[in-house]
Amino acid sequence: MKDPLSRTTSGIATTWSGFLRDWDRCLRSAGHPETTRYNYLLAAAQLARYLAEESPDPDAD
């Protein structure tokens, strides 16, 4: 079974995935609850997917 972060970051660029993993680590160390971290990371992953689909530059991840 995949961890929630892996499910959230599946299908996005590896650069974004690495950024979100680092951000999750930072949020955890600051003591943010799991639900808050999940919501923040989900929003960022949705932004990454949107930018990948809507960007006029195909090389811009």
Task: Please give the residue that has the higher pLDDT: either 38 or 7.
Answer: 38
Q: What pLDDT score was predicted for residue 1?
A: 42
Task: Please give the residue that has the higher pLDDT: either 14 or 56.
Answer: 14
CB-based contacts of 24, cutoff 8 Å, min separation 6: 5, 37, 41
pTM for the model stands at: 0.78
Q: What pLDDT score was predicted for residue 37?
A: 95
Compute the distance between CA of residue 26 and CA of residue 50 in angstroms, rounded to an integer. Answer: 24
Burial class (CB in 10 A: 0-12, 13-18, 19+), 15: exposed
Domain residue extents for the chain: 4-52
- Residue range 27-60, pLDDT digits in tens: 999 999 999 999 999 999 999 999 888 877 766 6
Rounded average pLDDT over 7-34: 92
Alpha carbon 37 to its chain centroid, in Å, reads 10
